[in-house]
Amino acid sequence: MAIKNYKQKEIDDHPPIVKRTVKDYMSTNLITFSPDTNVLEITKVLLDKRITGAPVIDDDGNIIGLIDDKDCLRIVVDTLYHNQPIMSHTAREYMSNVMRTININTEILEVANIFLTTPFKRMLVVDDDGKLRGNISRRDILRAIHDMST
C-alpha cells in the first residue's frame, strides 16, 4: 500500500530516519585550562590549535568557566588601558561563566534549535553526572545535516 501525503499524492516509502545524538558528533579531545593558567599561554594555545575557546576546569574536573578569543581581546584592552603587565593575568580573571551545557544524549535536532535561538557557537557536553565529556559546535551540526542528507 502506498503512503500518501496530506494532498493525497503518493510519496516514497523511506525507512525511518535514524535519530542522531550529540554523542555521534561531539568533539572529545578537548583542550582545557585550569583557572590559574596564564593568559599568554592560553592565547598561544588558541592560536596554535586554531580554536576559538576552551573550558576552564578545576582540579576535580568540574566546569567552572569558559575562556575564548573575545576574553583574550579584553585582556589586551585592559592591559593597555590600565598599563598592567600581561604576565600577571590568569584564566580565572577573564573566563566567562556564561556558557551552555548539554547532555550527551540530546538529539541533534534539539541542539540545532538551541543554536538557532541563542548566540552560542559551541556548547559543552556533559554526561548524566554533569562531568565534561566533550564539546559540540555549529560546525558539528552542519556535519550532522550533511550526513543525514547523504
Q: Is residue 33 part of a domain?
A: yes
Nearest residue to 100 (alpha-carbon basis) of 74, 78, 126: 126
Residue 6 belongs to some domain of the structure: no
Q: What is the rounded distance in angstroms from the CA atom of residue 104 to the CA atom of residue 130?
A: 10
H helices of the chain, in order, are 22-25, 39-49, 69-82, 91-94, 108-117, 138-149
Tens of pLDDT, residues 95-127: 998 789 999 999 999 999 999 999 988 999 999
122 found inside a domain = yes
Q: Please report whether residue 5 resides in a domain.
A: no
The residue segments making up the domain with residue 74 are 14-149
The enclosing domain of 28 has a CATH number of 3.10.580.10
Identify whether 2 is part of a domain.
Answer: no
Number of structural domains the chain divides into: 1
Residue 82 neighbours by CB under 8 Å, 6+ apart? none
Residues 38-83: tens digit of each pLDDT: 998 999 999 999 998 999 999 998 999 999 988 888 877 877 887 7
Asked if residue 52 belongs to a domain, the reply is: yes
Is a pLDDT exceeding 80 seen at residue 87?
no
Q: Is residue 3 part of a domain?
A: no
| pTM higher than 0.85 | no
